[in-house]
Structure formats: structure tokens, C-alpha cells
């Protein structure tokens, strides 16, 4: 359909299609990121980077399951310089979501200072929600730590910044987190990271399915879609309208994309389904979303974004 646009904006960035890879999927190496860039994805996210390259947790550390996936990757990545070099060396004509996930506040601040000094101008995302670094809690569940981190970051950081948040499960948590986030000039949030420290059991072998942390890991895929919808909706109802939302969690079809945008997402990210299907998933999502919009008579995403209705009799 020629009169349907599925473009979306975050900060100064224009996404020609409202879906990109979720951090951690098809993004550790240049070859993988190029596959995303050469697909119908609207942009690319980089694997959450630490200051130095990391090997991550012992394998096996990822498993597909009936309704999604479990992972305890433990931040394997090539180090921040690799991702900054990749961006500098290539003329990338799509938005980039540069993900940073230091294992301490000091490392996050050092990494963001490096990004601030670099020529990078697209979107930078501070991951406060990795559930899989052994011995480290998720900062996103410590409200004081979120506030202290943001205060320190905005003393020097002037580029567009987003935060990757863990899933919340209580309405009072949304109130408290949104109250903090609204005090800062954030460009966006990304919600949700995987549901941390779930457990998948193989009844046949009577064992867990991944090695690290006794089998505990982040859950993604269809299991988590209602949690993602709720977090997007709850934050859209509470955040300042200038703070945009990337909705992540359980997206497999164009209908899932539609539902997350209906709840208030500006764009969405695809993790488990991308890992399972590969980058051609973006062409399918584009077709499915466009078909839904055509059937409903929508011409652009803003026709329905955030317009989820109360229960209808
Ligand atoms: O690398 C990982 O284990 C990982 C990270 Br950084 C994250 O943010 N979320 C996730 O499910 N896995």
C-alpha cells in the first residue's frame, strides 16, 4: 500500500520501519550487524558493550523453549571500542542503538564519557537490567541506584540517552520509577529486558537446560509478551510525553508489533523470534503490520499509537 507509512522517530532519528533487533541478538560482530542493516529492520542495536571485550558465561548459555527462550549469556561482547569503530568506519544510513552495560557504575560512567567524546550522534542506551552477570544485581530494581546513576550521567552526557529497564510487576513500582525518570532529560526508555532468573526444566533428563548460575536465566519470547505490553502501557501512562518508548518482549508477528504500538511503543525490538527465524523476519513483520493497518484503515503509526481503549462492553 503506497499511502501507508510505518516510519517512526526517536530523538532526531527516523526509523523507516518500527522494528530493530533487541540487544544481544545478531549484534555481537560486524558481520551480524551488517545482516540486520541489510534487512528490512529500521535500524540496528549493538550488543551491550563493556569497556573491555568479554567472553561471557560458560556454554551452553542459551536455549530455545516451546514458548520462547532462556539465556545466561553473561555479556559476551567485543568491547565498546569495537562498536564505536564499526559505527565510525561504516557509512550507516539507519539509526543505531548503541547499548552500554558496564558491570559497575564507574564503568558505565567511563563508557558514556567515551561515547560523549566520540563522533557518535545516534541513540545511546544504558542497560540497567542485565540479569546474568554473576554476582551483580540488576540496577533497575534499585531505585536509589537508578537516581544516583542518572544524576552522575547527566552532569556530562548531552547526547540522546535511553535506559534499558527490567520488567516491573507492581503498579507502585511504575509510579516510583517513572517519578525518578521524569526528572531527567531522557530521550527514551526500552522496556522490557528479559524476565530475569527464570528456570526451564527438561523433564526427560531431569535437569536444567543451560549451564551458568545453576540454570537460572533471562526468559524471552511468547511467555513475556503480556509483561512487555503492561510495562509499555504503564510507562506511557506515567512518563513525560517527550520520553519515547521502545517496546521489547515477545514480538513474533505484525500483530504483536501492532499491540505494542497500541500500548504506546514508538518502535519495537525483536529478540527471541529474530534468533529463531533470522533477519528476514523484518520483511515478514513489515508485510503483516502493513496488512493490519490497511484492514483497519490506518495510514500511519500515530493513528493508533497509545490509543488502547478501556474494556468495551
Ligand atoms: O548478555 C546477557 O546475558 C544479557 C544481557 Br547484557 C541483557 O541485558 N539481557 C539478557 O537477557 N541477557
pLDDT confidence of residue 279: 98
Query: What's the CA angle centered on 42, arms 77 and 188, to 5 degrees?
Result: 70
- Which residue minimizes the CA distance to atom 7 of ligand 1? 130
Catalytic residue among 41, 126, 130, 263: 130
What residues have CB less than 8 Å from 149, skipping those under 6 apart? 105, 108, 126, 128, 139
pLDDT confidence of residue 2: 64
Tell me whether residue 112 is in a domain.
yes
The CATH number that applies at residue 25 is 3.20.20.70
Cα-to-centroid distance, 4 and ligand 1 (Å): 35
Cis peptide before 60 (omega within 30 of 0): yes
Tell me whether residue 266 is in a domain.
yes
Answer yes or no: are the C-beta atoms of 26 and 36 closer than 8 Å: yes
Ligand 1 atom nearest to CA at 48: 6
Tell me whether residue 299 is in a domain.
yes
Torsion region of 156: left, alpha or beta (phi above 0 gives left; psi -120 to 50 gives alpha) = alpha
User: What is the reported pTM?
Assistant: 0.98
Torsion region of 15: left, alpha or beta (phi above 0 gives left; psi -120 to 50 gives alpha) = beta
What residues have CB less than 8 Å from 34, skipping those under 6 apart? none
Tell me whether residue 148 is in a domain.
yes
Tell me whether residue 214 is in a domain.
no
Number of independent structural domains in the chain: 1
Using a 6 Å CB cutoff, which residues line ligand 1? 24, 48, 71-75, 101, 127, 129-132, 193-194, 218
Q: What is the pLDDT along the chain (313 residues), one digit of tens a residue?
A: 469 999 999 999 999 999 999 999 999 999 999 999 999 999 999 999 999 999 999 999 999 999 999 999 999 999 999 999 999 999 999 999 999 999 999 999 999 999 999 999 999 999 999 999 999 999 999 999 999 999 999 999 999 999 999 999 999 999 999 999 999 999 999 999 999 999 999 999 999 999 999 999 999 999 999 999 999 999 999 999 999 999 999 999 999 999 999 999 999 999 999 999 999 999 999 999 999 999 999 999 999 999 999 999 8
How many Å apart are CA 197 and CA 202, to the nearest integer?
16
Cα-to-centroid distance, 234 and ligand 1 (Å): 23
Torsion region of 183: left, alpha or beta (phi above 0 gives left; psi -120 to 50 gives alpha) = alpha
Tell me whether residue 216 is in a domain.
no
Query: Helices 105-117 & 80-89, crossing angle to 10 degrees?
Result: 20
pLDDT confidence of residue 298: 98
Tell me whether residue 39 is in a domain.
yes
Annotation marks residue 263 as catalytic: no
Ligand 1 atom nearest to CA at 218: 11
Tell me whether residue 213 is in a domain.
no
Cα-to-centroid distance, 262 and ligand 1 (Å): 26
Residue ranges making up the domain that contains 293: 8-56+75-194+222-303
Amino acid at each position: 500500500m503506497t499511502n501507508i507509512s510505518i516510519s517512526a522517530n526517536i530523538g532526531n532519528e527516523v526509523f523507516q520501519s518500527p522494528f530493530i533487533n533487541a540487544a544481544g541478538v545478531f549484534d555481537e560482530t560486524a558481520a551480524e550487524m551488517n545482516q540486520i542493516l541489510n534487512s528490512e529492520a529500521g535500524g540496528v542495536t549493538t550488543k551491550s558493550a563493556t569497556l573491555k571485550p568479554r567472553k561471557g558465561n560458560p556454554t551452553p548459555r542459551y536455549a530455545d523453549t516451546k514458548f520462547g527462550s532462556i539465556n545466561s549469556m553473561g555479556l559476551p561482547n567485543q568491547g565498546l571500542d569495537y562498536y564505536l569503530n564499526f559505527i565510525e568506519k561504516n557509512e550507516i544510513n539507519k539509526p543505531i542503538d548503541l547499548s552500554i552495560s558496564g558491570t559497575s557504575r564507574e564503568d558505565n560512567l567511563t563508557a558514556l564519557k567515551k561515547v560523549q567524546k566520540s563522533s557518535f550522534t545516534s541513540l545511546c542506551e544504558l542497560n540497567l537490567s542485565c540479569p546474568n552477570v554473576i554476582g551483580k544485581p540488576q540496577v533497575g530494581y534499585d531505585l536509589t541506584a537508578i537516581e544516583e546513576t542518572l544524576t552522575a550521567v547527566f552532569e556530562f552526557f548531552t547526547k540522546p540517552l535511553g535506559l534499558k529497564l527490567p520488567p516491573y510487576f507492581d503498579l507502585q513500582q511504575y509510579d516510583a520509577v517513572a517519578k525518578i525518570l521524569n526528572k531527567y532529560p531522557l530521550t527514551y526508555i526500552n522496556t522490557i529486558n528479559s524476565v530475569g532468573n527464570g528456570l526451564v526444566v527438561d523433564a526427560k533428563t531431569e535437569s536444567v537446560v543451560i549451564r551458568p548460575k545453576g540454570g537460572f536465566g533471562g526468559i524471552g519470547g511468547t511467555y513475556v509478551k503480556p509483561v512487555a505490553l503492561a510495562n509499555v502501557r504503564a510507562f506511557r501512562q506515567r512518563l513525560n510525553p517527550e520520553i519515547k518508548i521502545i517496546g521489547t518482549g515477545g514480538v513474533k508477528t505484525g500483530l504483536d508489533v501492532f499491540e505494542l504500538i497500541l500500548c504506546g511503543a514508538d518502535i519495537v525490538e525483536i529478540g527471541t523470534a529474530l534468533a529463531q527465524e533470522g533477519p528476514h523476519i523484518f520483511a515478514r513483520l513489515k508485510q503483516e503490520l502493513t496488512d493490519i493497518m490497511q484492514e483497519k484503515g490506518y495510514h500511519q503509526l500515530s493513528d493508533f499509537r497509545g490509543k488502547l481503549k478501556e474494556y468495551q462492553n
